[in-house]
Structure 1
Amino acid sequence: MADIEERRPRNKATTFLLVLAAAAFVVASALRLLGIDGTRHMVATTALVPYFTAAGVLLGAIALLARRWFVGTVTLLVALVLVAAVAPRAFPDARPIGVGQEVRVMAANLLVGKADAEVLVAAVRDHAVDVLALQELSPAMVVDLERAGLDEVLPHRVFLAEPGASGSGIASRYPLTARDLAGPSTLRQAGALVALPGADLEVVSVHPLPPVTPDGPEPWQRDMAGLPRPDLNGPYRVLAGDFNATLDHVGLRRLLNHGYVDAADQVGAGLDPTWPADAVWPPPVVIDHILVDDRCPVDTFQVVDIPGSDHRAIVSQFVVPAR
């Protein structure tokens, strides 16, 4: 009898800890499942959905092994719903049939102009990039890119260079015409029409203000809402850059619902983290994306390390159908 009485406090403690962990998991999951961005802390939590999805599966299994049937069942059911949303990103989708002009687009956040320009230009050459979307493009970085030979590879450009993190730009193998596609935004988001052989392509260098600033996520939400939807009556469109959002955030999912596909998700690379580069804290997440008009079949996607930047560059090849 004494042994049984001594075990009861440990059993109650185990139950309490499992219930507490399960409650935290369910609340975090609800932000994603109900589409709530909320405060900056909620936005940051949603960015970690792939991590707490795996944690939820593990927690549910532990609860069942500990014979906490209700806690384990509820936790596993919620975790499985998240698995259904997250796991497909690791598997390629069927490529739609389509022929036309093959295009390779790269997006790179330059960390206020601190990225290694020579490595970036070398990556542009190695990956045969046709269009380069740049974020945090400073005037000094423009000079560094010119010295590294970017003009020799991508001679056409629409640059909105500014000190700090506000600047952006687009460089291209093909002629460019500047276009205001993103509308008013906190940071500069360059837009351009690319005159491809046989077709036109509009590109936006995306960089909404981060949602985790002390001012809260409202400017980020406005910037995301201002990004253009695909135009069925106009050129094909691509949004490429640092969205400061994952595939679990409402604003990005809304864009996908309006006619874009995420290039990484299409080829099974949707869980390859892009920020922070070469760091384990905060946990690496996927906030850099190339969103392609869903009429353009996606063939490849890669992440590329650029020394000096806290972001990994991303490259995708897709087909722009002839009109």
Structure 2
Amino acid sequence: MLVRDDVETERRVRPRRVWRVRLAAGLAVLFAAGTAVRAGGLEAGAFLVPMVSFTPYFALAALAGLGVAVAARSRAAIAVMVAVCACLAWLVVPRAVGGGEVPAGGRPLRVLTANLNGGRGDATVIVDLVRRLNVDVLSIQELTYSARDRLAAAGLEALLPYRIGRADFRGPEGSGLYARHPLRERTGLFQPVGHHMPVAEVSLPGGSAVEVVVVHPVAPVPSTVPEWAAGVAALPPAPASGPPRILAGDFNATLDHAVFRRLLDTGYTDAAASTGQGLNPTWPQGRALPPLVTIDHVLTDARAGAVDVQVFDVPGSDHRALFADLRVK
């Protein structure tokens, strides 16, 4: 009788064990494929390009997948998931640790970038940030004529009297650059693909200059993924000579997009990642969900570095404003 009971129990347990092993194996294959896409820069198309933005969350989910493999006692699944978790940690953790170098004796340059969401961002909040953070350079995206007037009425021109750029009736196209020090607009540096992206040299006290590019390629929605990729790829590489170059704006790309990493590989450093703030999300703000991904960036070439990065909510905008306290050699 006991033998019969043991056999019946084994028959009931065996299917459950088989399904646990199959679930663990399926998850291992899924996570391995997703990790290969991210590590190999294989994202393409209207589905994978947006999805790769969520790699940090994918890394957290992989830990849960490892737990399933352990519970299923599947050695193969455990081995795969351990490798997946290690690879994702190597890709994601450094941006939360920082450790970027700051040029010795560098001069302070405080940069703020903000997307106004079709001109709807609160101008008073932007100007208050400029005043409170003692901002030297303000990069504005989605600058409309009405937003430009509201910024002026809030007192921006008294704080940053120099300006280049172009406002627009439509939300996404306009961009502007405001500065505490004189600006000299540059043309011909690169051929923008996307929205208006002005470039200027900021004449710092003492005669030195820093080149600043306002960045705003199109968003990678299904109909514009090729244009988005071309827009990020068209941004100017980090220079080895001439004025130090800073790219600041809404890149519509995260540190997990291959086209963005190729831009970094030319010699740029992401200010947020270098200060351990690379997982601080900037979009979307003001919706049912909290901000999820980091698509607003300040990049510096090898002659500059960040000592501090902060993000701030801007009522009316779907982006957080990003502040970088830089030191320029």
Q: Given the two structures, how large is their TM-score scaled by the length of structure 2?
A: 0.93
Structure 1 position 28 matched with structure 2 position 28: no
Distance 1:132 1:11 in 2: 59
For residues 177-203 of structure 1, what are the alpha-carbon distances to aligned partners after superposition, in whole Å with 9 as ceiling and x for unaligned?
A: 122334232211121111112321111
In structure 2, the partner of 1:179 is 186
Q: Report how far residue 27 of structure 1 moved.
A: 1.6
Q: Tell me, in whole angstroms, the C-alpha distance in 2 between the residues paired with 1:144 and 1:21.
A: 52
Cα deviation for residue 100 of structure 1 reads 3.4
Q: Which residue of structure 1 aligns with residue 167 of structure 2?
A: 161
3-state secondary structure, aligned to 1:48: helix
State how far apart, in whole Å, the 2-side matches of 1:31 and 1:110 are. 33
Is the contact made by 1:39 and 1:216 (CA closer than 8 Å) also made in structure 2? no
- Which letter does structure 2 place at the counterpart of 1:95? E
The aligned residue for residue 317 of structure 1 is 325
TM-score (norm 1): 0.95
Aligned-residue CA RMSD (Å) = 1.6
User: Match for residue 249 of structure 2?
Assistant: 241
Distance in 1 (CA, whole Å) between partners of 2:41 and 2:326 is: 30
Counterpart for residue 204 of structure 1: 213
- Structure 1 residues 94 and 249 mapped into 2: Cα distance closer, same or farther (>3 Å)? closer
Q: In structure 2, give the amino acid aligned to 1:145.
A: L
Task: Give the unaligned 5+ runs of structure 1.
Answer: none
Residues 74-100 of structure 1: CA deviation (Å, up to 9, x unaligned): 012122111012101111305344213
CA offset digits 1:235-255 (Å, max 9, x no partner): 110000111111111111111
Q: How far did 1:283 drift?
A: 6.5
Q: Indicate yes or no: 2:132 matched with 1:93.
A: no
Cα deviation, residue 61, structure 1: 2.8
Give the Å deviation of 1:20.
Answer: 2.3
Q: What residue ranges of structure 2 are gaps of 5+ in the alignment?
A: 1-6
Alpha-carbon distance in structure 1 between the residues aligned to 2:14 and 2:71: 18
Q: How many equivalent pairs are there?
A: 320
Post-superposition CA distance 1:35-92 (Å, at most 9, x none):
1121121111210111111111221133123201111210121221110121011113
Q: Contact 2:162/2:183 (CA < 8 Å) preserved in 1?
A: yes
Structure 1 residues 18, 289: CA separation in 2 closer, same or farther (over 3 Å shift)?
same
1:83 matched to 2:92? The reply is no
Determine the C-alpha separation between the residues in 1 that align with 2:226 and 2:290. 22
Q: Is the 2:121–2:315 contact (alpha carbons within 8 Å) kept by the matching residues of 1?
A: yes
Residue 178 of structure 2 aligns to a residue whose secondary structure is strand
* 1:306 alignment partner in structure 2: 314
Given that 1:105 and 1:131 are in contact with CA atoms closer than 8 Å, whether structure 2 keeps it comes out as: yes
From the superposition, tell whether residues 315 and 182 of structure 1 become closer, same or farther in structure 2 (CA, over 3 Å).
farther
- The alpha carbon displacement at 1:159 in A equals 2.2
Q: Is the 8 A contact 2:161 2:180 kept in 1?
A: yes
- Once the two structures are superposed, the pairs formed by residues 27-66 of structure 1 within 5 Å of their partners are 27-66=33-72
2:223 corresponds to which of 209, 215, 230: 215
Is 1:265 matched with 2:273?
yes
Matched, 1:133 2:139: yes
Matched letter for residue 233 of structure 2: A
Percent identity over paired residues: 40
SS at match of 1:202: strand
The structure-2 alpha-carbon separation of the partners of 1:68 and 1:283, relative to structure 1 and needing over 3 Å to count, comes to farther
Q: Separation in 1 of the partners of 2:49 and 2:289?
A: 17
